[in-house]
Structure 1
Amino acid sequence: MNSMNFKVEIDELHRLNEFILNELPHEDFMVNLIVEEIFVNIVNYSQTEYIIVNLDYKEPNLTIEFVDNGIEFNPLSKEDYEAPDSIEDAKIGGLGIHLTKEIADELDYHYEDGENHLMIVKKVE
Structure 2
Amino acid sequence: MNTITLKPEITELYTLTEFITNEIGEKNFQINLIIEETFVNIVNYSKTEFITVNVEFENNTVTLEFVDNGFEFNPLLKENPTAPNTIDEAEVGGLGIFLTKEIADELDYHYENGENHLKITKNV
TM-score by length of 2: 0.96
Partner of 1:14: 14
% identity of equivalent residues: 62
Corresponding position of 2:38 = 38
How far apart in 1 are the matches of 2:40 and 2:28? 18
- Counterpart amino acid of 1:48? T
**Within 5 Å, which residues of 2 pair with 1:1-125?**
1-124=1-124
What residue identity is the alignment partner of 1:24? I
Q: Which runs of 5+ in 1 are unaligned?
A: none
Aligned length: 124
3-state SS of paired residue (1:32): helix
What code does the residue aligned with 2:57 have? Y
- Matched letter for residue 122 of structure 1: K
**Post-superposition offset of 1:57:** 0.5
Q: What amino acid is the match of 1:86?
A: T
Give the 3-state SS of the residue equivalent to 1:14 in structure 2: helix
